């Protein structure tokens, strides 16, 4: 839950504007390790009813998925959404159906230009609920090299050792 507040100079107090309920359904934790995030975006998704129910119960996997720009439209590809009730799923239900993302034309043009640049890609970070609407947060990112990843692991291990030594003393 995120609470938005603003300062009212007339009353000299904080007034609550509105409350935004955000529930995270799925996160791509490996994205932060494999990619260097340059810029983040959020987009709505075109979903069927059974997909919405399945996502709200947490049955979605973002690993191995990516975002692509095709014919001035943006799609989420490679994400698996199993049926909410497998016995009631229609014969034509596709778990890996590409999902269209809802963005402004300016954002689509910007993303199309940036993804043509060598080394940049669009990766999904998390799927969350924003006031009853399911949103996707994705990032324009650059892939990390293998030695960068090893360096990060070494730094994390050293920091962990230092904190252990400080906590013992």
Q: What's the whole-number mean pLDDT along residues 30-41?
A: 83
Q: What would be the CATH architecture of the domain defined by 23-168?
A: Beta Barrel (2.40)
pLDDT, tens only, 69-104: 999 899 999 888 888 877 777 777 777 888 899 999
pLDDT category at 6 given cuts 50, 70, 90 is low
Residue 88 structure tokens:
């009631």
Comparing 23 with 33, which gets the higher pLDDT? Answer: 23
How is the chain split into domains, by residue range? 23-168
Q: What is the pTM of this model?
A: 0.71
* Contact present, 59 and 81 (Cβ < 8 Å): yes
| CB neighbourhood size of 160 (10 A) | 10
Phi, psi dihedrals of residue 154, rounded to the nearest 5°? -60, -45
Q: What's the whole-number mean pLDDT along residues 150-162?
A: 83
In the chain, pLDDT over 90 holds for what percent of residues? Answer: 11
pLDDT, tens only, 136-147: 999 888 877 776
Say yes or no to pLDDT of 124 above 80.
yes
* Contact present, 1 and 131 (Cβ < 8 Å): no
């Amino acid at each position: 839950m995120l609470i938005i507040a603003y300062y009212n100079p007339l009353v000299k107090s904080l007034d609550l504007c509105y409350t935004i309920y955000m529930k995270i359904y799925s996160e791509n934790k490996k994205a932060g390790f494999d990619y260097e995030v340059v810029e983040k975006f959020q987009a709505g998704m075109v979903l069927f009813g059974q997909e919405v129910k399945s996502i709200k119960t947490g049955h979605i996997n973002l690993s191995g998925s990516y975002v692509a720009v095709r014919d001035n439209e943006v799609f989420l590809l490679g994400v698996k959404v199993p049926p909410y009730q497998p016995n009631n799923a229609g014969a034509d239900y596709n778990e890996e159906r590409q999902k269209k993302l809802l963005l402004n034309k300016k954002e689509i043009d910007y993303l199309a230009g940036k993804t043509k640049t060598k080394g940049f890609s669009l990766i999904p970070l998390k799927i969350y609920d924003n006031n009853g609407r399911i949103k996707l947060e994705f990032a324009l990112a650059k892939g990390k090299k293998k030695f960068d990843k090893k360096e990060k692991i070494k730094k994390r291990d050293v920091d962990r050792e230092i904190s252990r030594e400080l906590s013992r003393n």
